[in-house]
């Protein structure tokens, strides 16, 4: 079963430094991020991973990291997928 989370600067240091307001992640049952969406300060999608258009190349911010999501805001699967199907540069919401 997949789980979905919203990560902000308080959760991941350095996001704001890179111009990212928050990151949505889809996490599998093993605790691995399988998809992520970066949202910039204006609320627009700045990157998606995995994607050939990712600003971080073939890597995601959470690539190969196991995460502790115990204090992280959850997101619905439908909200994640709605954002996933939008193009980079479009508003996430």
- For the stretch 34-67, pLDDT in tens is 899 999 999 999 888 888 766 666 778 776 565 6
* Farthest-apart Cα atoms in the chain, separation: 32
Better pLDDT: 17 or 65: 17
**Over the stretch 26-35, which tens digit does the pLDDT of each residue have?**
999 888 888 9
What DSSP letter does each residue of 20-78 carry, written as one string?
EEEEEEEE-TTSBEEEEEEEETTSBEEEEES-TT-TTTT--TTTT-B---TTSEE--HH
Whole-prediction pTM: 0.81
- What is the pLDDT averaged over residues 5-14? 86
């Amino acid at each position: 079963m997949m789980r979905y989370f919203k990560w902000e600067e308080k959760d991941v240091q350095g996001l704001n430094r890179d111009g990212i307001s928050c990151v949505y992640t889809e996490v599998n049952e093993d605790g691995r991020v399988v998809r992520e969406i970066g949202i910039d300060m204006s609320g627009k999608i700045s990157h998606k991973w995995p994607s050939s258009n990712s600003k971080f190349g073939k890597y995601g911010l959470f690539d190969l990291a196991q995460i502790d999501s115990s204090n992280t805001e959850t997101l619905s699967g439908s909200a994640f997928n709605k954002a996933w199907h939008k193009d980079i540069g479009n508003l996430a919401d």
